[in-house]
Amino acid sequence: MPTATSTVSPSAAPLTQLSDEEKMFQNSVRRFAKERIGPHVREMDEAGLFRKELLHEMFELGLMGIEIPEEYGGQGGNFFQSVLAVEALAAVDPSAAVIVDVQNTIANNILIRWGTNEQKRCYLPKLARDTVAAFALSEAGSGSDAFGMASRAVRHGDHFLITGRKLWITNAAEAGIYFLFANANPEAGHRGITCFIVERGFPGFQVGKKEDKLGIRASSTCELIMDECRVPAENVLSEVGKGYKIAIETLNEGRIAIGSQMTGLAQGALDHAIAYAKQRHQFGKPIAEFQGVQFELAQMATEVEASRLLVYNSARLRDAGMPFVTEAAMAKYFASQVAETTASRAVEIFGGVGFTKDYPVEKLYRDAKIGRIYEGTSNMQKMTIAKQILGG
């Protein structure tokens, strides 16, 4: 895991309620993001491809195995550290952030929590060392209603045959391991949904079309095709029929990290806007001296800090083993709003040049939109919040 070896100037964001160790960790990730990822952001966005050497460096730095226990080659960290890493990366490139997010808060977490000892021994060292993972739940006909899935799994002796298609799967192009959901007992409805650990080379498994997206373009999003994909029975995660519970509880945690990604994105947009406002002159002085611009920056800074506090609070609750579902939904809902509005305001502060690809705020504006859609739309978060506060 990265550690600070020299003094690093933090961004405009205060290091809210962080220990010295957490500050050092966050600063080291920021430095890696700025120095190594930053120079390639525009190129990767235009190509729709994340550079392999940067992915390799993220593994070497321990950013892909933060919570994996040391006995399996991981860093032995906690969930909050994963959230800090995602936030720091997102301020430079939200695509890098979502790669680390899915690997840690979804894939590694799901295996640590639900895997057998044999599954952990087999897959955790790979996930810590060099293998990207993906979470395959969504389908063409099941977006917010993710459990209306059509994928089916049929038991044949010592293995299952899975048939179906998955859509919008993050990290799919680079992944070697997929946590894939299919219904092994359709008559039981959602109680038949089962999670399988699927390796890329399994017979009948294929990575399909890569989506050409509006934002986070360097992060791959692909279709998965299963044509009687043969999966050993020992690759069932937990047990048959537990997929619904596994997915719900995993996504509740993953939404905190999406909130962190959106907070980092908003902070990056704010940092760019502040720097530009100080150096851009109109009417003989920097535009930062105009009250209208100051008010915009003040509102942006306040909303970003509020977003950060919601995210940090929900992550701390999760690590403490306390209820956090409501707080996670609030963090994801609010942070995605803040990211979109902050990036939009940043474009306006830049003026005409902000509308061009020559400046980074245009990309951050495009990247922000997905925050209100994936891992539960804003409306789904509001439904969760409403049920909780109404005692549902």
Q: Which residues are catalytic?
A: 375
Give the dihedral sign, CA 311/312/318/324. Answer: negative
DSSP-assigned letters across all residues of 278-304? HH-EETTEEGGGSHHHHHHHHHHHHHH
Q: How far apart are the C-alpha atoms of 327 and 310, rounded to whole Å?
A: 7
Q: How far apart are the C-alpha atoms of 376 and 372, rounded to whole Å?
A: 8
Given phi > 0 = left and psi -120 to 50 = alpha, else beta, which region is 17? left
What is residue 169's three-state secondary structure?
A: strand
Q: How far apart are the C-alpha atoms of 49 and 38, rounded to whole Å?
A: 14
CA separation, residue 322 to residues 27, 110, 223, 247, 316 (Å): 28, 18, 36, 19, 9
H or E segment and range at residue 342: helix 325-350
Q: What spatial distance separates the first Cα and last Cα of the chain, rounded to whole Å?
A: 41
- For 142, which DSSP code? B
Determine what percent of the chain falls in helix, strand and coil, rounding each to the nearest 5: 55, 15, 30
Q: How far apart are the C-alpha atoms of 151 and 17, rounded to whole Å?
A: 44
140: number of CA atoms within 13 Å, CB side?
7
What is residue 165's three-state secondary structure?
A: strand
What is residue 296's three-state secondary structure?
A: helix
> Is residue 163 within 8 Å of residue 226, measured between CB atoms?
yes
